[in-house]
Structure 1
Amino acid sequence: MWSLLAIALVGMFGVAGLGGNVCVFPCLVCLPVATFFVVFFFGQDLTGARWSMSLWVDKLCIHQTDLELKAKQIAALPVFVAHASRMLILWDETYFERLWCNLELATFVHNGGIQNVDLLPLWLAPWLLCSILLDLLSAGLFELLEHVLPNWSMRWVPPIMEATESLLGKNPAMLKFVTCCVIWMFSGITYLLVSVPSFFSFRMKLRNHQLLLDQMSAFDVRAAKCALQADRNAIEEHVVALFEGGNAPVKEGSGVDDGEVRRQRFSLEDRDPLNCFNEHVKGPLLALVESQIGNELRVPFHIALIACLPMIFYSSVNVLACDNGPCEISAVLSGYSSVTQYMVTQVVAWTLTIFLSFPVTSPILLRMINFAVSRGNGPLELFMALLCCPLAYMWSYTCGGLIWGSIVALVQ
């Protein structure tokens, strides 16, 4: 959709005809982000179930009021699970504490293989959506700055170069490099307002992610809760039958180290089957989860890109709207020989920034907050953690400045 809107605008106004056009930001940022949220929340309804997969959800598919029917369906639960092609775990802090959930997991791991398990923490979507909204706010502030001070970055070039020349001499490439770095670092102020809510969002992610990994690392099926002792005995007997001899298959092509799994099987052959299941959760399944969503201090590349989706969309606004001024004037003020050179340089610089600079913000912020909160829970530690947020964003924009400075110095 975003691409179609960009093509439509270029077709209507021309490549160099959108400079200063106030419609570019709503069309290329606000509308795509709004569409993302609509599809995220209502996509299953919009498709009319034409492309929806069939799901079996235990809480919804097992009768909750007819006790006799409920008992029969619970008894058949392993059959339902065994016929599934994939298993989606919607994890919360009580998931591994529920024995019936462990039965489902053990049954599916035995029949479907660990590689077909997808674990989605319930905190992931709120954290990601919050990050997108905060990034949208920052993109809006960036656009507001462009409207209040049209071509502000270009007008700052001469005074910055003059000040830099007194320190570094008259090397044109170095002067342009430093100027771009300074301008990009200043652009990072658009994230100052979102740094405080970002702290709470990332701290929540840090705590819940660590809890998930800790639970899996210390997993013991015997510690899971079950209301009836008779059910516990039956469930444990079923798990014993599944894992007796360490025979929980992991099929080829999984994201797990198959050699490691085979070594675990060999070492577990003569051990308690319940311990065998425990080791599969603490070993291959934990490794698979970390490959899917990372550890508490890492954010997978694709998730990091989604978190900064509004600013990615905004890059097209910055290019097509020519820093919110007529493209010819913006090109001249920026020191380019033509509008084409000006816009191509921006496209290349934005592309490198999107893939090399933006994705590092989340991991750096997580590490900085983790370092601060690990020192204690006092006011000083809280202040340090809050300070980490603007510093992380400034670091990201400093990296962006290095990229832009290098490209501009090379081109001009």
Structure 2
Amino acid sequence: MEVILKQAAFAKQKGLFKAGLAGDVLWNLISPTKGKQPLLTEVSSVDFFVSHSWSCPSWMKVLAICYHLNLDLAIALSSLACFLGLLALRIYAGSLSRVASVGEGWLYGTLMCSPMAVFLLTFFLGHLRNGQTFWFDRVCISEGNQIEKADTIRAIPAFVCHSKQMLVLWDETYLERLWCNYEMAVFAQTSATHETIFLPMWAPLWTLSTIIAIFLLVFSYLDTLPPHLDIDSDVSLFFSWFKCANVPFDACAMAAIPMSWFCFHKLHGHELMLDQMSTFDLMKAKCTLETDRLAMERSVLKLFDRPRGQKSEVGRSAKSEEDAEGRSVEMVPSTRTALDELDMVPLRSERCTILERFNSYVRGPLRDHVVNLMGKEIDVPLKLCLTVALPNWWCGLVTVLSCDPRSDCELSASMEGYRSVSEYMLTNAGLNLVISPLMGILYFPLALRTTRLVAGLVRGPVGRMVAGSLAAALMLNLVNSLQAVGMASLAVLVVYPSWWIFSSFMAGVAALALLLWHTFLRSTGDGSFAEDDNESESEVLSDTFPI
């Protein structure tokens, strides 16, 4: 840690430690030319150190940073826009049952188009009011001054350990690059594991493309004719409701083709990430310049050949340097001195054992941390499934308020067998705002499991794609059929209440709850630690290398 502290002192003395805002980083990534260097601020620490592979396309990095910074805000503001739109319609119409008379155009625009527009605008622009600071090499390393550029690159370990969090933009080449591994090693020795944010590139792309696709799909179905129900008996009502709520197989097949492609892409990428971490070996990492390899390997040896330095120690040292600039100059009279000291780290007989400490950290605690956050290759986090299902809730709200969409709630209630408008609207809310969306979010993890089964049985890309699309269509049709059964059961229960119908419906609710729990909430069973269990995390780390 002594070398890094000297590098930090030298960087402060020369004014090398500068930070940019999220807008600076994103503009650098999307700008067709390098243009002017943004006006950066000298800092003593940053909120995020962005670690990435240069081979990853810039547009994917833009999506990833927007996703990390803006997704939660986009969800909140789009939901707020939908609520405010609903409130405005309620005030204008006088009651919820009269909102249908406002007109379908106002309902679509207020409850669907406006929230979607707010979501997209916030997703791409929400960071403009974000004051968090970033160290991103393409922004913070001067291209015009070669001496300053060389000094800044040599001081990168100091910038890493003075960062609150490391944002890892993972792609297939990330763990193969020695510079990326070096940054990760420095951060591992100076920070807690949960401060490393591993962001695989599939997550932002899938989230954004899926929510747009679902929005377009449900929006196209809003103009469908209202259901024609046979209310003569509970059996006829059930089957007529089932027929109305069930999506034709050909529509499932069309939707399954892009979904199958994504499932194969996600399975490959996520499995590769976990496999790379399971078999990680620093010595196998690639490096453009062998002189860099020697310096970085020796630096890792020095880092992991002693008890792990605590982050607070580094912070205290940095603060003391602020009070004694003269001593900083004495410690590091020149950049060459720091580099020479780094290169002169002796190679010890236990060299492989020392490097294995870092390898074990990546294979163990860091991999467990990633699994704990993102799940395994067949998992999609509940938060992402709920996010992409937002258009389903918006569409369900439009369906409820437009009264199926006859625009006359009293007529719809009488034609579908309900005793009052309130009973009709409450039942419709249960159908379209609870059962339908909750069943819908199950499709993504179930499709991943089906796709992995196909990948194990079928060889060849064409055969896999055909078989995967067929399997995904069958899975989508099955989930949709179960959804139709749940919706039909609730409608029959309200119109023809009886104990056996109530018992059957509650059994279905229990089965849905169990399936949701099993898919999203149960423990992974792989030994991964809880995010907030700092004590258990420290125990795991201490078994890997000295803390």
Category of TM-score, reference length = shorter chain: 0.7 to 0.9
1:44 Cα shift? Answer: 2.0
Q: CA deviation at 1:66?
A: 2.9
Structure 1 residue runs without a partner (length 5+): 163-169, 252-268
Aligned partner letter, 1:80? F
CA deviations on 1:136-195 (whole Å, 9 max, x unpaired) are 1210222132xxx2x2x2x1x21xx77xxxxxxx6x2x5544443333223787655433
Q: 8 Å contact 2:253–2:470 — kept in the other structure?
A: no
Once the two structures are overlaid, the 10-residue window that deviates more, 96-105 or 386-395, is 386-395
Q: TM-score, normalised by structure 1?
A: 0.83
Q: Are positions 1:209 and 2:288 aligned together? A: no
1:233 aligns with 2:314: no
Q: 1:249 to 1:215 in 2, by over 3 A?
A: farther
Equivalent residues in 2 for 1:203-282 (5 A)? 203-244=264-305, 247=308, 272-282=353-363
Q: 1:394 aligns with which of 477, 496, 500?
A: 477
User: 1:322: Cα distance to partner?
Assistant: 1.1
Partner of 1:339: 421
Matched with 1:135 is: 214
1:186 is paired with a residue whose SS is coil
Superposed, which structure 2 residues align to 1:282-361 within 5 Å?
282-325=363-406, 326-353=408-435, 356-361=438-443
Match of 1:56 in 2: 135
Q: 1:107 to 1:282 in 2, by over 3 A?
A: same
Q: Does 1:10 find its partner at 2:90? A: yes
Q: Deviation string for 1:327-359 (max 9, x for gaps)?
A: 111111221111111111222333432563122
- Of residues 134, 151, 156 in structure 2, which corresponds to 1:72? 151
Which structure: larger Rg? Answer: 2
Change (3 A) 1:127 1:95: same
SS at match of 1:235: helix
The superposition leaves residues 108-150 of structure 1 with CA deviations (integer Å, 9 ceiling, x where unpaired) of 12111111111112232112111112101210222132xxx2x
Residue 161 of structure 2 contacts residue 311 of structure 2 at CA under 8 Å; is this kept in 1? Answer: no
Q: Name 2:116's counterpart in structure 1.
A: 33
Residues 82-110 of structure 1, C-alpha deviations (whole Å, 9 max, x = no match) = 11111111111111111111111111121
* Corresponding position: 1:408 with 2:483: no
Q: Please say if residues 210 and 296 of structure 1, whose CA atoms lie closer than 8 Å, have aligned partners that are also in contact.
A: yes
Partners of 2:479 and 2:108 lie apart in 1 by 23
How far residue 273 of structure 1 moved from its aligned partner, in angstroms, is 2.1
Alpha carbons 2:451, 2:471 under 8 Å: kept? yes
Question: Are the aligned partners of 2:392 and 2:437 in contact in 1 as well (CA < 8 Å)?
Answer: no
Any idea what the Cα deviations from partners look like across 1:25-73, whole Å, max 9, x if unmatched? 222112211221111112223x2xxx33111112321223433212211
TM-score by length of 2: 0.63
Instruction: Quote the Cα distance in structure 2 between the aligned partners of 1:300 and 1:132.
Output: 15
Whole-Å separation in 2 of the counterparts to 1:271 and 1:236: 11
Q: Distance in 2 between matches of 1:194 and 1:239?
A: 49
CA distance 1:395–1:247, change in 2 (3 Å): farther
CA gap 1:118/1:378 in 2 versus in 1, 3 angstroms = closer
* Aligned alpha-carbon RMSD (Å): 2.6
The aligned length equals 373
The equivalent residue for 1:109 is 188
| TM-fit CA distance, 1:409 | 2.9
Q: Hey, what's the Cα distance between the residues in 2 that align with 1:336 and 1:74?
A: 72
Q: Is the 8 A contact 1:113 1:249 kept in 2?
A: no
- Which one-letter code corresponds to 1:336 in the other structure? Y
Deviation at 1:373, TM superposition (A): 3.0
**Residue correspondence of structure 1 range 89-128 to structure 2 within 5 A:** 89-128=168-207
Distance 1:189 1:353, change over 3 A: farther
Provide, for residues 273-298 of structure 1, a one-character-per-residue CA deviation record: whole Å limited to 9, x for no partner: 21111111111111111222222211
Does the CA-based 8 Å contact 1:109-1:248 persist in structure 2? no
Q: How far apart are residue 315 of structure 1 and its match?
A: 1.1
- For residues 89 and 4 of structure 1, the distance between their equivalents in structure 2, rounded to whole angstroms, comes to 37
Task: Give deviations 1:193-230, integer Å, cap 9, x for gaps.
Answer: 43322222332222222222222222111111222223
2:100 equivalent in structure 1 = 19
- Taking the aligned partners of 1:202 and 1:38, their CA distance within structure 2 comes to 27
Q: What amino acid sits opposite 1:224 in the alignment?
A: A
- Larger relative contact order (Cα-Cα within 8 Å, sequence gap ≥ 6): 1
234-243 vs 346-355, greater mean Cα deviation: 346-355
Residue identity in the other structure for 2:382: F
Structure 2 vs 1, CA of residues 248 and 337 (structure 1 numbering), >3 Å: closer, same or farther? farther
Q: Secondary structure at the match of 1:90?
A: strand
Q: Following the alignment from structure 2 to structure 1, what is the Cα–Cα distance between the partners of residues 352 and 132?
A: 39
Could you say if the C-alpha distance between residues 377 and 76 of structure 1 is closer, same or farther in structure 2, counting changes exceeding 3 Å?
Answer: same
Q: Which residue of 2 aligns with 1:257?
A: none
